[in-house]
Structure formats: C-alpha cells, structure tokens
Structure 1
C-alpha cells in the first residue's frame, strides 16, 4: 500500500513541476490572477481534470470546478479546494498542492468505483492571494455567496478594473451570484495545504490538524510630505515622507515583538513616488499586514498602530492617509470534521499535532457557510512564498494516506449531514 501512495505522490509531484514551469517570469513561479500565465496554468489543470473523466467548468470569477456526482440527486456537496494563483516569485506548492491532491483523491475514488453518499466538487480557486487587486479570497467568496460586487470597479496598478480583467479572461461577471453554492447545499469543506511554518519540519512529522485560522487586517498607508532638493533643504525644515514611513515600520515591528501571543505585523511593500537619489521623498505608500488568532488582540493592535501612525505624521509635519484594505476575523475549524481528520491521522499511524494557521486560506470565507477542516503538510524548513518551497515525497505520500482515510471515514460516518 505504501508503494501505491508513493506512486501517487510521484504523479502529483510531476504535475506540480509541470504547472510551476508556467510563470510570468523566468526566475521563479509567478501566476497572478487573470494573467496569461494564470490562464495557461488553469488550462493545464483543466486538461488533467478532463483526462480523469471529470466534467469541468470555469465560473464567472475564473474558478475551475469539477464535480463527481452522487447517485442521490438530492445529496449535499462536499468541497475539496485550494487555489492556483500565486504571489510574485512564489514557490511551487502553496495552493496548487491542495488542488492536485484533490484531483488524486477523485481519481482514486473513480478507480475504486466508490459509491458516494454526497456530491464532491473540486475547486481550483482563481484568486486567494489577492496580489493583483489587493483583496483576498475573490474565488472562494463567489462560491460562498459573499462576493462584494463593488469590487468589480477596483483597479490594479495598471488601471485595469476587475470587471475589465474578467472580460479579458472571457469570464462572465453577470453569473457571479449564480456561481455560489447555497448554504443549505454544503456538506463541508476540506483543504490540504503546506504548513508554511516550521513546526512540522522541526518535529519531523508529515501532517497536522488545523484547529483555527488567524484573523488579519491589511492596511495601505500613504505619508505625504514635501519633495525638495536633497542639498538645499535644511534637515530641521524637511517634511520627509520616507522617514515617517521608516519610523512606522519599526514601531509596527516593536509592538508585535512586545505583545506576542501569535500577533505578527509585517510591512511588505514600500513605494516612493518620483524617487531619486537627490530628492527628499515627498510621498511614500506602504502596506501593513496584521494577524492574530485573538480577535480582541487584533483590534487592539490595529487601533494602537493607527493612533501611533497619526501621531507620527503630526510630529513629522506630514499627512497620513490610512486605508483599511481587507479584514477577516479569526475562525475555528469545524469540531466534527476535525474529529474525523484527527482519527484519519491516527489511523494512518501518525502523531496528531494541532496547529493554528497564521496564514489565511480559502477555508476562512467557507467557514461562514459550511463546516470546514484543513490538513497541513510538512514543508522544507517551513519556507513559503519563496522559490525554495518544497515538500518531500515521503511526506506527500503520508498526506495522501491520511486524506484517503479521511474521505473513507466521511463516506461511512458523514458527521455533518
């Protein structure tokens, strides 16, 4: 049986590598939502789904969806999903691994001619990372019925609106409401994903049970001062926007370090308008990413950093534009599904480790309409959002064994019906 799981792991890895070869740049893996590389990658995944004999469709937001029907037309739907978009200069596994493991599970069920008490839908979400339009979970929010149609007017850095991007993708935004799975028709949701952290790597355990997902708040800050000549404006008369932004970056870091308990703060983007070596920066835009599994702590951190940014702007005689881009509350995974997944891990012979995910996942919006569970898979040194991202074959084979057992338990026990 172990050889069978290894062979399946090898096939998934081969597909991962084929998909990773499709990228917007030659040096890493970049497939942001709606780009030619994204569409080419999605077409490749669709070809694998269709080769397995699964009927597929692309919905109005660009999600790729395949369905395995139960003999019972009135059965509920269990969703297997992850995403196939990436950050810039990404690794191979973040997102696509869950989609391709889902395909492997369906191929195995088809080979077994297993009778299904529920429908299974496999979804490759089109945009989880939110890189292009600075908003996460576009794909899963459509499927859960939570999509905000005002987002269609949001523009990327090239001035292209989401609505225009969908037209270019041959996607039909008028169908977005119809693409949702009604809450009453959901049975549950299962997402398989690399850990994106070092716990499993350090403990040499291949999988973990996800108990909760941290909440997050994303902010765009713009400090505006006065551009001036670097050689002629005295230091005590400057309105240097970059110095204000730099001080804010350190305040955010120091606050998160001091408060702990899972709180993290990151400034990942810094843009200087009309930058030149001999010009005092007059306008600087930066990002803030705040995360915590504790909703109260997250709110307190947000309020503290906003008030300090405002005070800093006054102190340095610059203005501040603080814009909340996205926020999600912490969510707990479903207790019944987690009990089954924990049993599947134990049945497969592995220690059951419970983890809180600091990264966001499509399971977040899904959890508001359906029971959701997640399986973490050990990744090389916990590295993610980086070309060094990797998963060892033995760990992948172990994860397949656990996922198989979970689906068997779900079919026989079905705790959420």
Structure 2
C-alpha cells in the first residue's frame, strides 16, 4: 500500500532532480524561456506522461495535464503552481506545489477515482516575472487576461517576449494566446499548495495553514535627478545631491510603514547610481518601491502619502523627481466556500486551523478574478524563500498531501455535478 510518506519521498526526490537543472551552478535559476527552463519543463513533462495525464504545452508554454471526468457537463478544477524561479532561488517555491498537484492527480488516476469534475494540473511557465518584469504570464493566459502589448517587451539582451515564446515552443500570436484560456464558464475552482514565505508556521510548529487572502501590491520606480559635482569643491548648502534625497525618502518610507500597522509593508529593494564614484556628488539615483497590504484602502492611502512625501523631499532639496507606477495589483480574497472545505480538511487531519494572509504574490491573484480560488501554505524552514536556504521537512509535506487529498474528497462530495 502506498503511504503519504512514500509519496512524499518521491516528491522530494523529484524536487532534487529538478533543482539540479539551473542556469548557474551556485543556486537554482530557471527563468522563463531559457534553456534551463525548457530542460526542466521537459523533465516535469515526462512525469506528467508517467502519471497518465496526457500533457500538452499551451501557447505561453504552460505545461498542462488533465484527468477527465466521466460526468456530463463536468467543470474543471485546477491544481497548479509555477516552475520558473527567481535568480539564485531555492528548490521549493513553485515546484513543490506542482509536484504535489501531480501526485494528487496521479494517485486519483491509479485508484480509479470517479471525480465529478475534470482535474487539470498546470505547471505555469512564468509567475516570478524575472526575465521580462511581467509577473503571472502563465496564469494570465489561462484566465484570458494576457495583454498582447507585452509581446514587444524586451529582456536584458534585447530579446522580445514574442521571440522567447516562439523559441520555447509556444505560439506568440495574440489569437493563439487568447485561445489557450480556460473559459470562465468551465471553471469550478483553483487550489495551490505553496511554501509559507514567512515564519509563522515554522515558529508554531504547524505543518499547514489556510490562506485567507493575498495582499495587493503597488510597485514604483523613482528617479531622483539633481546635479553631479566635485565632492571636494561644492559647499554643502549648495548641493543638489540625488542620493541624500533618495536616502531621506527611504528612511521616511520605513518610518511611515512602521506607524501604519494593518498589515502594510513597504520595501526599497533596488537602488542604482549611474556614473557613481567616491569623489562625485550623485547626480541621479533610481530605486524601487514595493508597497503591499491585504486591504485596498490602506494600500491606496499609503501610495498617495508616500508620493506626497517624495515630492516634498524633492522640492525641499532642489532635485527633480520621476515617479513611475510599474505594477498595481488589487488584494485578492480567497473564496469563502473553498476555504470552508479546506479548513474542514485541515481540522479533520488533526491540525490546528491557522489562517494567514499572503504578503507574497501568487497565480491565485489573476485566477481569483474569474474563478473561486484558495491556497494552503506548507511550513518552511524559518520562512526563508527566494534563497538557496529554502527547505521543507518531509513530515510537513506528507501532512499537506493528506490535507489536500481530503480537501479534494470534500470538494467532490459537495460538487453540484455529483
């Protein structure tokens, strides 16, 4: 008899095999459309074939497998996550959810489960958005929300998104991308398993949690333009120092976010000084701003307040300010009905029902616009993610697998197609 422990051992072995495929030797890097990504996807496709899911690639390069239902008029329930990574990543963020989903479908196929819905497993081709700075490419195609204007976007080597899609075996024609969508009328729902990218489960020694919502995001690029000058000859009162203006804003942003509470977080994670030198007053600084909150109101208020702060700093210091909104994503609540079934599965499996808001973005965000969506988090070592130190323990994976299987049984028992 196959146990959750033996199934987990195979999942973790597969993760190790996939992690060995990388663009570099130091960590795990598989960005959208690269040779390493394609090689990794081919490996996963072989596992889909072994599971009897008849895999196929859609126009954006998503890997999709299907366990069809025999019920007339059955809708589709999607189990998915992503197989692209950030640079120098860990091995679990994304691929663990894909391989858990694959195991669930494979086991259902092996035992001859009669599901009242089609079960579709998807390995999304791009969630992280590293190469083209375009998050959720895979899930936006699946939901019909892909913007064809993105096809002209270029990477650091000048390769367009359209070229990359074609090179990886996709079809960049807008009509083909639109045809890859799962029509809204055919959706039953969406479920994703993912490591918790935070320390709550680790500190409390709880293996799995229910995700209630995914925080909204505002990403901004700020450009401060002053006047470069000699570090030894320009008096302090006469300087137009772009870096000190940016530094003041960075500290003001931290202080603002700490005062707000309500789950609001603010981060400046990138800073670039063109033509930097130790003896030159910085004439220009470009940096990022990442704002997140589970509530739309505080997110919008923070955005407006920080922009006003930046403008006041620029005026006071005599520098010009460029403010460009790069990405805006609304908070996405998880579906109450699916969450009730998931909470029941967690409790019935003998675990405390911990409810968490995800501060990280997930493919559930675009999917929640067209279908009921929910997520479960899995305990991760110290909550570390996007880092080679990312790790999960086998008992926690086995617990999540058992919860997910019970959740699917709950869903089957309550499906209107039954």
Same-fold call, TM cutoff 0.5: yes
Residue 100 of structure 1 corresponds to which residue in structure 2?
Answer: 99
Gap change, CA 1:216 and 1:368, over 3 Å in 2? same
Q: How far is the alpha carbon of 1:329 from its aligned partner?
A: 1.0
Aligned partner of 2:193 in structure 1 is 192
Preserved CA contact (<8 Å) 2:117 2:417: no
The separation in 2 between residues aligned to 1:133 and 1:313, in whole angstroms, is 30
Within-5 A mapping of 1:12-411: 12-72=11-71, 74-174=73-173, 175-411=176-412
Query: Which sits farther off after the overlay, 264-273 or 128-137?
Result: 128-137
Structure 2: stretches of 5+ with no match in the other structure: none
Separation (CA, whole Å) in 2 of partners of 1:17 and 1:316: 52
The 3-state SS of whatever aligns with 2:3 is helix
Distance (whole Å) between structure 2 residues aligned to residue 265 and residue 277 of structure 1: 29
**Mean Cα deviation higher: 128-137 or 171-180:** 128-137
- Structure 1 residue 287: deviation in Å? 0.9
Maintained 8 Å contact 2:201/2:207? yes
1:240 deviates by 2.2
Q: Are the counterparts in 2 of residues 135 and 325 from structure 1 also a CA contact under 8 Å?
A: no
Do 2:188 and 2:372's aligned partners in 1 also have CA atoms closer than 8 Å?
A: yes
CA distance in 2 between counterparts of 1:226 and 1:384 reads: 39
- How far apart are 1:74 and its partner, in Å? 2.9
Give me the whole-angstrom Cα distance separating, in 2, the residues matched to 1:222 and 1:277: 20
> Is the Cα–Cα contact under 8 Å of residues 73 and 417 in structure 2 kept in the other structure?
no
* TM-score scaled by length of structure 2: 0.96
Q: Please tell me whether the aligned partners of residues 116 and 417 of structure 2 are also in contact (alpha carbons under 8 angstroms).
A: no
Q: Which runs of 5+ in 1 are unaligned?
A: none
Summarize deviations over 1:271-304 as a string: whole Å, max 9, x none: 2222233333222211111000111000000001
Contact 2:71 2:417 in 1 (8 A): no
CA distances 1:118-143 after superposition (whole Å, capped 9, x unpaired)? 11111111111122222321111110
Task: Work out the CA distance in 2 between the residues paired with 1:346 and 1:386.
Answer: 31
Describe the shift of the 1:249–1:178 C-alpha distance in structure 2 as closer, same or farther (beyond 3 A): same
CA distance in 2, matches of 1:407, 1:204: 25
Check whether the contact 1:134–1:325 (CA below 8 A) recurs between aligned residues.
no
* Distance in 2, Cα, partners of 1:182 & 1:172: 19
| CA–CA separation in structure 2 for the residues paired with 1:273 and 1:166 | 32
Alignment root-mean-square deviation, CA: 1.6
* 1:94 CA displacement: 0.8
Q: Is the CA contact 1:252–1:265 (under 8 Å) kept in the aligned structure 2?
A: yes
CA distance 1:73–1:59, shift in 2 (3 Å): farther
Distance 1:248 1:178 in 2: 45
Superposition deviation, residue 193 in structure 1: 0.5
Q: Secondary structure at the match of 2:321?
A: strand
Structure 1 residue 337: Cα displacement:
0.8
Displacement of 1:308 in angstroms is: 1.1
Aligned pair in 2 of structure 1 residues 235, 215: CA closer, same or farther (>3 Å)?
A: same
Kept after mapping to 2: 8 A contact 1:188/1:416: no
Query: Does structure 1 conserve the Cα–Cα contact (< 8 Å) formed by 2:210 and 2:377?
Result: yes
Q: Give the number of equivalent residue pairs.
A: 416
* Secondary structure in structure 1 of the residue aligned to 2:164: helix
Q: Deviations over 1:30-87 (max 9, x none)?
A: 2122222222211111111112222111112121111111123531110001111111
Quote how far apart the aligned CAs of 1:415 are: 6.0
Residue-by-residue CA offset, 1:297-326 (whole Å, 9 max, x unaligned): 000000011111122222222222111111
